[in-house]
Amino acid sequence: MQTLKDLPPADWPREKLMARGPGHLSNAELLAVVLGRGQPGKDVLTLAVEVVETLTGLEDELTLDTLLEIKGIGLGKGCQILASIEFSRRFLTARKKLKVRTPKDALPLLGALRAAAQECVVVLTLDGNNQVIKSHMITRGLANQSQIHPRETFYPAIQDRAVSILVAHNHPSGNLEPSEADLIATRRLVEVSKTLGIPVLDHLIVAEGGFLSIREKYPAYFG
């Protein structure tokens, strides 16, 4: 893992945000900007990475007590994080629902995948207007593997009464090419979707360096 001292000043989170905009920052870099500074022996980027890893693996609602268990997060920084999350939630809830017209449209909801150290699978449930109903983290795997099962994939879609879904998972290695297992899982999901009447709009692979649409690169798997 790179620390702040490993990076040239132009790539420090705040400087990177000013030069390129927030969309070019990873989740850890965005959080580093919010935190401002780290602690003795732990720079702000290292601290932010640890917080993001905690958030990614969290099953329950984030609490101040959970944050305080992270070495380097005191009461002040813990409150900063919780306030930032709540502000973002309120701001985004008040806005119009995100509409997915192209694979790229879904990326704002998939940022958590980029910083994850393990492969994770997310399902976006969509309504009849291709607006996102909800984002669901359904599985977490090993450093280079995550199982994608139709049962877990379609369960939230049925709960949300979704008209369609979009599936996404990350490759922590940064390699965006789908594995044979990724393609087999895609074909299985598409087959099941025909029975359930809940189409799979796409299966995306994301990494810090970008994303790949399996539908665009391998359209036959959606036939």
Per-residue pLDDT of 85-136, as tens digits, reads: 888 877 765 556 788 999 989 988 887 787 677 888 999 999 999 999 998 9
Q: Once rounded to an integer, what is the mean pLDDT over residues 42-55?
A: 90
SS3 for 145? coil
For residue 170 the two structure tokens come to 């990350």
pTM of the full structure? 0.60
What whole-number distance in Å separates Cα of residue 134 and Cα of residue 98? Answer: 10
Paired residues of 168 in beta bridges = 122, 204
Q: Which residue has the higher pLDDT, 105 or 61?
A: 105
| 155-to-55, 136, 144, 170 alpha-carbon distances in Å | 23, 10, 24, 20
The answer to whether 81 and 112 have CB atoms below 8 angstroms apart is no
